[in-house]
Structure 1
Amino acid sequence: MLTREQLSRNLGTNLERERFKLGYSQQDMAKALDMSLSSYKRLANGDTGKVDVYTVYKLSQLTGKMFYELCGESSDLFQTYDRMRNLSPTQLHFIESLVQFEFDFARNLETVPSVSREDYTTMIIPSGNMHDGMVYDSCSLEKINISGYRKRYGNQIDCALLVTSDHMSPVYHANDILLIARNPIRDGDTGIFINKVTGLLYIRRLRQTDPWRLEPLTYYGQTFYIDSNNASEMSHWIIFGHVISKTRG
């Protein structure tokens, strides 16, 4: 939690930073905030004793920032909200449906006091035909009980993925459930990789050689080579997560 002094100092600093971004003079900024120049200067110098609700509202409208951001407050939730600003309306609708799904599940679970929501994870079920280099454009979701795996892996398990075909046999078969972690992937891990250029999803074993190799789990499929020192090449790939265990559906 920020102290009063930290909050005041951060607000003044961030206010001036936003002013420079807008290309405003202090007089322009004062006018936009419906205050005198002297009042704005006091605010920019960290004197926040007389900041009223209307000024907070005007600040947010003018800068496009939430007040907590201007005060320098941060948390995982705030950072998630900030990233969501760059999503399209369709993507935001999808996120809203996920939130509603989790909310409904948590509410239903309240009727069963002996069961913890931490015993469950969300399983992603890809729509359509699951194959190598599939287009990951739609899915359905289910909750599955993984209490036994929680004892071993704890909070490392972020979600699960249902295998819906035998194209990775004999490593994975239809109805296998892959338990996915989102922590950093390591050499030899089986990862879920999405190519941002093509929009295709691949399940590959990572070899952190030079260059990196994304190898198919069987003899079927293409090996991809990525220069891990080339930021442009790395930016073409999303590492969704990696498999830490599997179970059967």
Structure 2
Amino acid sequence: MENVVDDRESEILYNKEKWIGTINSLMERNGWGIKDLSEKSGIPYDSIKKLMSGKINNPTCYTLFKISQSLGCSLDYLIDRDSIYGIAVPKLPNRAFSLIKEIANFEIYLQEQSHLSGTDFAPILIPCGEMYDGMIYNSISIESIDISAYDHSLRDIIMCGIKIIGDKLSPTYVDGDILLIAKDRFPVNNEIGIFLIGHNMYIRKYVMGDSITLKSFDYQTEPIIINDIDDIHFFGRIVTVIRK
């Protein structure tokens, strides 16, 4: 298990070093410092400083897009499109790039709304259909939510939210709950995460022992025993829940 975590951390570090190196090189070419990049890109000075110091593992598409614009290069060049977050581009279907573009455009829209209103919005994924244990996650719509009330340390790692539809996961999660998701690291023992196995999505507790187990909340549904970590895809860990 430690090797898996180490591999993921190495991948994050590798990608982070790539875009930091590229940004530094282009800043040096332009004779810019962090303050110049902040002013040209419209990204707050503190955010640029955190990014360049390696404190942010997963910057938003909007942040990288605005930086690439200000530096006069493409987003592809900045993140090295031959390898996007460790995934070889030739392995991606063409529709993946359309999805990436749409997500980036939505992030740009949210960032502009955040700037105009002085707030901080995050995208919320809404499944089209009731959620249950092992649901087929085949269609979504997207909304947004204001996360300004949270501390910067939490806001910096939030990737997105997922809205709970229906009461099949109650009493832990009820209809209308919004789970805020981070993918800053792999879950630790007894932490709740979102996992994809085949075509199904599971919101379960990650338990380490003699084997890895994904435990349900109701203790009646059979746990999933994972013999090979490569059999699951980790989508993110739940860092907090918004209940209205």
* Fold in common (TM above 0.5): yes
Structure 1 residue 247 corresponds to structure 2 residue 209: no
2:118 match: 115
1:94 match: 99
1:209 match: 209
Q: Is the CA contact (8 Å cut-off) linking 2:111 and 2:121 kept in structure 1?
A: no
Cα drift, residue 213 of structure 1: 0.8
Residues 246 and 102 of structure 1, relative CA distance in 2, 3 Å threshold? same
1:208-244: per-residue Cα shift (whole Å, max 9, x none)? Answer: 11101100011343311113xxxxx211101111111
Q: Is the CA contact (8 Å cut-off) linking 1:193 and 1:203 kept in structure 2?
A: yes
Residues 173 and 164 of structure 1, relative CA distance in 2, 3 Å threshold? same
1:170 match: 171
1:29-64: per-residue Cα shift (whole Å, max 9, x none)? Answer: xxxxxxxxxxxxxxxxxxxxxxxxxxxxxxxxxxxx
Secondary structure class of the residue paired with 1:207: strand
Supply the AA of the counterpart residue of 1:241.
Answer: G
Supply the AA of the counterpart residue of 1:184.
Answer: F
Structure 1 residue 106 corresponds to structure 2 residue 111: yes
- Structure 1's unaligned 5+ residue stretches are 5-67, 69-73, 228-232
Show the 5 A alignment for 1:211-226.
211-226=211-226
Supply the AA of the counterpart residue of 1:239.
Answer: F
Cα drift, residue 184 of structure 1: 2.1
Distance in 2 separating the partners of 1:156 and 1:169: 26
Larger radius of gyration: 1
Q: What TM-score results when the alignment is normalised by the length of structure 1?
A: 0.60
Q: What TM-score results when the alignment is normalised by the length of structure 2?
A: 0.61
Distance in 1 separating the partners of 2:164 and 2:230: 27
1:234 match: 229
- Structure 2's unaligned 5+ residue stretches are 1-20, 26-72
1:189 match: 191
Identical aligned residues as a percent: 28
1:56-102: per-residue Cα shift (whole Å, max 9, x none)? Answer: xxxxxxxxxxxx9xxxxx96565427736121122322222212222
Supply the AA of the counterpart residue of 1:131.
Answer: Y
Q: Is the CA contact (8 Å cut-off) linking 2:114 and 2:121 kept in structure 1?
A: no
Q: Is the CA contact (8 Å cut-off) linking 1:129 and 1:164 kept in structure 2?
A: yes
Q: 2:87 aligns with which of 66, 74, 83?
A: 83
1:182-230: per-residue Cα shift (whole Å, max 9, x none)? Answer: 12210010110001xx210001101111101100011343311113xxx
Distance in 2 separating the partners of 1:81 and 1:133: 26
TM-align CA RMSD: 2.8
